[in-house]
Amino acid sequence: MELQQFKYDNKITKYFIIATVIFGLVGMLVGLLIATQLVFPEMNMGLQYTSFGRLRPLHTNAIIFAFVGNAMFAGVYYSMQRLLKTRMFSDMLSWIHFWGWQLIILAAAITLPLGLTSSKEYAELEWPIDIAITLIWIVFGINMIGTILKRRERHMYVAIWFYIATFVTVAVLHVVNSFAIPVDFFKSYSWYAGVQDALVQWWYGHNAVAFFLTTPFLGLMYYYLPKAANRPVYSYKLSIIHFWSLIFIYIWAGPHHLLYTSLPDWAQSLGVVFSVMLIAPSWGGMLNGLLTLRGAWDRVREDPVLKFMVVAVTAYGMSTLEGPLLSIKSINAIAHFTDWIIAHVHIGGLGWNGFMIFGMLYWLIPKMWGTKLHSTKLANVHFWLGTLGIIVYALPLYAAGVTQSLMWKDFDAEGFLEYPNFLQTVTQIIPMYMMRAIGGLLYLSGAIIMTYNLIKTASSGYFIANEDAEAPALEKKKIVGGHWHSAWERKPVFFTVLVLVAILIGGIVEMVPTFLIDSNIKTIETVQPYTPLELHGRDLYIKEGCVSCHTQMVRPFRSETERYRGEYSKAGEFVYDHPFLWGSKRTGPDLHRIGGRYNDAWHYSHMYDPQITSKGSIMPPYPWLFTQSIDPEKTAGKIRALRKVGVPYPEGYEDTANEELKAQAQKIVASLKADGIEASEGAEIIALIAYLQRLGTDIKVETAQK
């Protein structure tokens, strides 16, 4: 058989690695900064661009899409060429992919601090960037499928399956969740409202974890772990079962992010059942990874690559056991909205993704530069700093989560809340926040040492940009027979379609009934669309990222209806919420029943400096809301866009809306004046107060009527 000569493209891997390291350091640094802000609010630096609410999405996006994303592409481009015995399908597509992705990251780094956000977690970027992501993702997909089609290896190794699943599923998730109607170039409203928006968002959010942070990394594990250990994966049979069961089950589990919310009960239960089932494939994968090292454990003592990978796979196992447990309703009742969840995701992020990346980089760079690692000793220092960093990060947050949650739920002997002031439960856990920041600092220090070590390694070698390779051509003759699965693997396009079917079923079964059945969302007659001024206020709430720290979802617990002095949140209250703003974390109290609880002057002072009304609060001041004005020109566009997604504003309402806006603003200014505060009508703070005072009050109108 004729041997064909060709070259592997290492240069594209090199560039993705450089981006990984740079954005990794940046993402971690932003993380450290916002962790510090939770202890010292002064670290918000009095600037709107550096306030916690705007930087938090920058941190999550930088880590997920820039650090982990670039690492994924580096790992995929390297392993795919070798597993398929061919160069990538098109060098041009590879480079469009690379530079396109970096431009998207740049756009995110500019728009998020400016407060241009959709507010949907891990999907914050506004619609023009969403379209760019879609296009670049398709470029990646074409390049990948093209490479598979021109391969010289008949069978696709299991890592490739995981890459295919990643491409297909992320494409579906991103497109469905990003449906929105633009108001202008920088602003849009989600196509979905309230409960439906929440369901779509967490179907996306959960599966972004599954198919951006997990499946590609399982593919990388199945390639780089055997490489580093120099032995085949423990059980290839297990990897087949692992793949199909994981991609099928994962997609159903999203609703576990919405337990005890206004989501219909059946959807919550479905999410719980599938989440618990997920333990099986996840642990199958973890054991398959760890058992690959059977008989080679002595090497784990010496080889930093294996050290990192062992901890990574262990962290994968821990967080995939923890996740299902957190999905059980009784555990979720304690953990949800607390720092426990932050600890959980960081076991995954720092442990699984981070350590897998570090292991991969320590293996790849000496290989691609044809040299040895500059210093094994420094790599070991990195390993221990990182490991300690994870522990010092996570343990205090577990303690903080449980402590705070139990304080929220604590009643005294007379049946009153033991800690009626939310702030008491915050000041209690500040020492834990401090330790968390130290954990983050340790982890970041390790990454800096790695960067130095890798640069030294590269400079001691010579970069092999185009690596010679040879393989026999794939014969065109039709192979008949073989088992059906091995036949499928030979048909990559068919295989891709099967993957698509597997992941669509879960999403459709969950979402169709929620959109279809009227009884899922009980209509509440008194619930009305927002007034124009409240709309402006709501958009400011979105812009400032208030949703990062405040929920709008009073769960049906006595401890919550008591604390938030109102009924628990009903699905029908959110029918005009494009997007929903339920939030996922209570660093501050829930705000769904905040309307009418304090007077306008209280909100005015509180936003100017939270210390005035709440001594010891860790919320930063928002002085710019008092000097910046809302733009009434935008009112009409907002109303038109919302009407398109189904909010029943009457025709022509946009023409008179600004008069109504002005009247409502004057009322608030007058009420402030009665309390001795001079405020200007157009100031952003007035709109924000209008929105906050409206929150959760519609349902009270109904109660009053009865």
Partner 1 sequence: MFKHYFEQVHNVAIWPIISLSIFFVFFLGLMIYVWKIKKSYVDQMGEMPLKDDSPEIRTHSINLNNH
Residues that bind partner 1 (CB under 8 A): 8, 79, 82-83, 85, 153, 155, 157-159, 222-223, 226-227, 230-233, 236-237, 240-241, 244-245, 248, 367, 370, 372, 464, 467-470, 483-486, 502, 505, 508-509, 512-513, 515-516, 646
Residue type, 310: V
Nearest distance from residue 77's CB to partner 1, in Å?
14
Nearest distance from residue 578's CB to partner 1, in Å?
13
Residue listed under structure tokens 């003592």: 301
Strand partners, 190: 180
Pair 367, 305: CB distance under 8 Å: no
Nearest distance from residue 232's CB to partner 1, in Å?
4
Nearest distance from residue 8's CB to partner 1, in Å?
7
Q: Which candidate, 101, 105, 127, places its Cα nearest to that of 58?
A: 105
Give the β-pairing of 3-9 and 466-472: antiparallel
Residue listed under structure tokens 């990559």: 492
Q: Is 84 or 394 the residue whose CB approaches partner 1 more closely?
A: 84
Return d(Cα 163, Cα 141) in angstroms, integer.
10
Return d(Cα 501, Cα 653) in angstroms, integer.
44
Return d(Cα 684, Cα 608) in angstroms, integer.
12
Q: What's the angle, vertex CA 37, arms to CA 36 and CA 42, rounded to 5? A: 115
Q: Is 78 or 408 the residue whose CB approaches partner 1 more closely?
A: 78
Return d(Cα 71, Cα 636) in angstroms, integer.
44
Nearest distance from residue 638's CB to partner 1, in Å?
20
Six token digits for residue 32: 């450290």
Greatest distance between any 2 Cα atoms in the chain: 92
Q: How many CA atoms lie within 13 A of 514 on its CB side?
A: 25
Q: Is 306 or 347 the residue whose CB approaches partner 1 more closely?
A: 306
Q: Is 420 or 646 the residue whose CB approaches partner 1 more closely?
A: 646
Nearest distance from residue 307's CB to partner 1, in Å?
20
Q: Is 486 or 656 the residue whose CB approaches partner 1 more closely?
A: 486
Q: Is 232 or 652 the residue whose CB approaches partner 1 more closely?
A: 232
Q: Is 83 or 263 the residue whose CB approaches partner 1 more closely?
A: 83
DSSP single-letter state for residue 48: G
Q: Which candidate, 352, 585, 371, places its Cα nearest to that of 459?
A: 371
Six token digits for residue 112: 């998020």
Nearest distance from residue 336's CB to partner 1, in Å?
27
Six token digits for residue 431: 């020492």
Q: Is 230 or 523 the residue whose CB approaches partner 1 more closely?
A: 230
DSSP single-letter state for residue 490: T
Nearest distance from residue 502's CB to partner 1, in Å?
8
Q: Which candidate, 27, 34, 106, 29, places its Cα nearest to that of 59?
A: 27
Nearest distance from residue 418's CB to partner 1, in Å?
45
Nearest distance from residue 455's CB to partner 1, in Å?
20
Residue 155: partners with Cβ closer than 8 Å, 6 or more residues away: 486, 489, 490
Q: Is 305 or 447 the residue whose CB approaches partner 1 more closely?
A: 305
Nearest distance from residue 445's CB to partner 1, in Å?
30
Q: Is 299 or 700 the residue whose CB approaches partner 1 more closely?
A: 299
Residue 12: partners with Cβ closer than 8 Å, 6 or more residues away: 77, 88, 91, 94, 95, 98
650-689 per-residue burial string, b: 16 or more CB within 10 A, e: under 16: eeebbeebeeebeebbeebbebbeeeeeebeebbbbbbbb
Q: How many CA atoms lie within 13 A of 409 on its CB side?
A: 15
153-180 per-residue burial string, b: 16 or more CB within 10 A, e: under 16: beebbbbbbbbbbbbbbbbbbbeebbeb
Q: Is 160 or 679 the residue whose CB approaches partner 1 more closely?
A: 160
Return d(Cα 505, Cα 248) in angstroms, integer.
8
Q: Is 82 or 174 the residue whose CB approaches partner 1 more closely?
A: 82
Nearest distance from residue 527's CB to partner 1, in Å?
19
Q: Is 503 or 669 the residue whose CB approaches partner 1 more closely?
A: 503
Q: Is 62 or 645 the residue whose CB approaches partner 1 more closely?
A: 645
Pair 330, 406: CB distance under 8 Å: no
Nearest distance from residue 509's CB to partner 1, in Å?
5
Nearest distance from residue 367's CB to partner 1, in Å?
7
Return d(Cα 342, Cα 322) in angstroms, integer.
12
Q: Please give the radius of gyration of the chain, using alpha carbons only, rounded to the nearest integer.
A: 26
Residue 401: partners with Cβ closer than 8 Å, 6 or more residues away: 335, 338, 339, 340, 341, 342, 343
Q: Is 295 or 646 the residue whose CB approaches partner 1 more closely?
A: 646
Return d(Cα 665, Cα 669) in angstroms, integer.
6
Provide the strand spans (E) within 579-687: none
Nearest distance from residue 82's CB to partner 1, in Å?
4
Nearest distance from residue 512's CB to partner 1, in Å?
6
Return d(Cα 149, Cα 163) in angstroms, integer.
14
Q: Is 509 or 701 the residue whose CB approaches partner 1 more closely?
A: 509
